[in-house]
A and B are shown apart, each in its own frame.
Chain A
Amino acid sequence: MVQAKTPTTKLDAELARRLLSQMVLIRRFEEKAAEMYALGKIGGFLHLYIGEEAVAVGATSVLRPDDYVISAYRAHGHCLAKGADPRRVMAELFGRRDGLSKGKGGSMHLFDKSRNFLGGHAIVGAHLPLAAGAAFAVKYQGGDQVVLCYFGDGAVPQGEFHESKNLAAHWKLPVIYVCENNRYAMGTAIHRALAQTEIWRYAETYGLAGEAVDGMDVLAVREVVGRAVERCRREQAPSLIEARTYRFRGHSMRDPSAAIYRTKEEVEREKQRDPIGLFRERCLKDGRLTEVEIKTIEKEINDLVDEAVAFADASPEPPLEWLTADVYRE
């Protein structure tokens, strides 16, 4: 893999604090969501992002607020990193009226237009052409925003992956495809789905810039996506980035973390490379943050997430008239 070189980005204390806070926020939010699922406050499918936080946080940290992000159904982290209000995200998971999508979308369909977050999409592969379309619109309108599209390794065998790569490269669309390769699509290990398992290599075939990055290293992700953003803004050259990561939990809350398809030992081994743990250590070692500062961050985030739960719980159910509203725009 193209390992992260020594990050060129200067790591000042402010940046370190921001990156760590966001990763801790996502982690804590997800842990809380799992608790709420167990209590029956959240229903349906719930896919947690625990273990993969460095990808969303590293990638979003090099975006501007007016850049676009689009994702699949494991999208809480992407949405929070893009700046969505955790209270409204939690309310959406609760299916309440103050949720981002008025409680109509749920965990898999978070949308936040105010943050240019183009949504969570639950059909594997479907949002990849949408990302190309958003980039097409940016270019059409003469803008300089980029579109960042997260997707899983499971989407790579899907036709829409290949179609959108070709369109993006052929028409030079300002889009960055970030594959979160966590090595499994549900119970299917990547080598059981792909003859070419080095996903970034598809870039060359289609004519995009391609790079692989250690997705457990938030600074490495930041560096690699930073380069892609540069390319996009400067020459409207799209990229395909493969971020190598791992999900610590099951595919969804219905799937135990180490089922038939992977061993407990493997999961435990990967947890040794916890992206938050790694970054924490690094900040302490470099003297960017002190133990006390980190504790303060964790405390603040805990409170924030508790507040999100309280907010969601207090939010009323959507009124019944909303069932048939928003089908057509009048």
Chain B
Amino acid sequence: MSVMTYREALNMALREEMQRDPRVFLIGEEIGVYDGAYKVTQGLLKEFGERRVVDTPICESGFTGLAVGAAMVGLRPVVEMMTFNFAILALDQIVNSAAKMYYMSGGQYNVPMVIRGPGGPAHQLAAQHSQSMEVYFYHVPGLKVVRPSTPPDAKGLLKSAIRDDNPVIFIEAETLYGIKGEVPDDPEFTIPLGKAEIRREGTDVTVFAYMGMLYRALEAAEELAKAGVSCEVVDPRTLRPMDIETMIGSVRKTHRAVVVEAGAGFAGMGSEIAAFVTENAFDDLDAPVERVTGANAPMPYAKNLEQAKTPSKEKIIAAIRRVCHA
């Protein structure tokens, strides 16, 4: 075990997987000479050279499509989106090429690639640079979608994503790059995709949250514990495939569920979780599932509006109190 930042854990995963498998290469904007816009790829150009750390011009659709083609012919690309907002430009290649290739070729061509980079709200980056992009992807059959919330998850999940034979969308968070945690040094340490993690055990209510919202939910749980409300906090980690078993198991135990998400609520992750909880555990529920979501608006620039846009600890606490009648 070593204590390292989330950023360093990602870097470690990339390095180890590149050492392990010569087919793995990195491609994206500013990942080499500049060492990454957020320094996730720091030092990798030096270690692996230009053949395997490929700086691109600004052309997201172009280099993502190129990666899909390379994956069809034997390589395992890891594409960096400088931020996931720019993946919108590559959406056609991700949705129409990467996600469907295996299916429409009748199982002949799979696309083993990872598309990774930061997403979600950061600090006053305004409407076009602060989007919670996972919703755009997890709707698409053929894609896997990962949102790692801690340094060990960052390492373990990224390694699994790179080893996966399917296209994996791996969305990090700028606001988490600096957080520290204990990370296994073992180059064979991985965390399987599709496994949720119970971050805090509790008995009265299950709170689902990931990334920045996970930490806010944990704070809310801490505060509510003092008031005698016991929250179980569950981090889905992989949004598709989702670990329904663990998630439903928790709700069966607590009989109540609250979903917290940073993005806008309409047709968001909360909608999906609420639906499958209702389908699978209706008889266990003591209250309707509550969603605490970002406001249904683009991200404003002004600091006060930005703060109001994402769910606050107070809003999370209020929702938990409502379902618990506490």
Interface residues of A (CB under 8 A from B): 43-45, 92, 95-96, 101, 103-109, 121-125, 154-159, 185-188, 192-194, 259-261, 317-318, 320, 322-324, 327
Q: How far is B127's CA from A317's CA once the two chains are assembled, in angstroms?
A: 18
A320 & B304 in contact (Cβ 8 Å cutoff): yes
Q: Which residues of A contact B309 (CB under 8 A)?
A: 323
A44-B124, A188-B30, A188-B34 given; A106·B59 CB < 8 A: no
B304 & A188 in contact (Cβ 8 Å cutoff): no
B126 & A105 in contact (Cβ 8 Å cutoff): yes
Q: How far is the CB of A11 from chain B (nearest CB, A)?
A: 38
Q: How far is B129's CA from A122's CA once the two chains are assembled, in angstroms?
A: 8
Q: How far is B130's CA from A108's CA once the two chains are assembled, in angstroms?
A: 13
Q: How far is B33's CA from A125's CA once the two chains are assembled, in angstroms?
A: 23
A322 & B300 in contact (Cβ 8 Å cutoff): yes
Q: How far is B62's CA from A43's CA once the two chains are assembled, in angstroms?
A: 32
**B3 contacts the other chain (Cβ, under 8 Å)?**
no
A261 & B62 in contact (Cβ 8 Å cutoff): no
Q: Smallest CB-CB separation from A155: which chain B residue?
A: B58
A188-B55, A323-B295, A323-B308 given; A104·B62 CB < 8 A: no
Q: Smallest CB-CB separation from B299: which chain A residue?
A: A104
**B181 contacts the other chain (Cβ, under 8 Å)?**
no
Q: How far is the CB of A170 from chain B (nearest CB, A)?
A: 21
Q: Which residues of A contact B125 (CB under 8 A)?
A: 44-45
Q: Which residues of A contact B29 (CB under 8 A)?
A: 186, 188
B89 & A103 in contact (Cβ 8 Å cutoff): no
Within B36-72, the residues touching A (CB, 8 Å) are: 37, 55, 57-59, 61-62
A104 & B58 in contact (Cβ 8 Å cutoff): no
Q: A109-B301, A155-B58, A324-B297 are in contact. List 7 more A-B contacts (CB 8 A).
A: A43-B124, A95-B124, A104-B300, A123-B88, A187-B30, A188-B55, A323-B295
Q: How far is B127's CA from A121's CA once the two chains are assembled, in angstroms?
A: 10
**B35 contacts the other chain (Cβ, under 8 Å)?**
yes
Within B192-223, the residues touching A (CB, 8 Å) are: none
B57 & A260 in contact (Cβ 8 Å cutoff): no
B305 & A320 in contact (Cβ 8 Å cutoff): yes
Interface string of B71-103 (1 = CB under 8 A from A): 000000000000001101100000000000000
Find B305's partner among A107, A193, A259, A318 (CB 8 Å cutoff): A318
**B19 contacts the other chain (Cβ, under 8 Å)?**
no
B308 & A320 in contact (Cβ 8 Å cutoff): yes
A104 & B301 in contact (Cβ 8 Å cutoff): yes
Q: Which residues of A contact B304 (CB under 8 A)?
A: 95, 317-318, 320
B85 & A157 in contact (Cβ 8 Å cutoff): no
Q: Which residues of A contact B88 (CB under 8 A)?
A: 123
Please, could you name 17 A-B residue pairs with CB atoms under 8 Å apart, sorted by A?
Answer: A43-B301, A44-B125, A44-B126, A103-B305, A104-B127, A104-B305, A105-B127, A109-B126, A109-B301, A123-B85, A124-B58, A154-B57, A159-B59, A185-B58, A192-B33, A194-B57, A260-B33
Q: How far is B90's CA from A158's CA once the two chains are assembled, in angstroms?
A: 11
A323 & B300 in contact (Cβ 8 Å cutoff): yes
Q: How far is B30's CA from A305's CA once the two chains are assembled, in angstroms?
A: 35
Find B33's partner among A187, A194, A323 (CB 8 Å cutoff): A187
Interface string of B301-320 (1 = CB under 8 A from A): 11111001100000000000
Q: How far is the CB of B31 from chain A (nearest CB, A)?
A: 10
A158 & B58 in contact (Cβ 8 Å cutoff): yes
**B298 contacts the other chain (Cβ, under 8 Å)?**
yes
Q: How far is B297's CA from A308's CA once the two chains are assembled, in angstroms?
A: 29
A317 & B302 in contact (Cβ 8 Å cutoff): yes
Q: Which residues of B contact A317 (CB under 8 A)?
A: 302-305
B297 & A327 in contact (Cβ 8 Å cutoff): yes
A103-B301, A109-B127, A320-B308 given; A154·B58 CB < 8 A: yes
B129 & A157 in contact (Cβ 8 Å cutoff): no
A322-B300, A323-B309 given; A108·B126 CB < 8 A: yes
State the 4 A-B residue pairs at the shortest beta-carbon distance, nearest first.
Answer: A106-B301, A157-B57, A95-B302, A187-B34
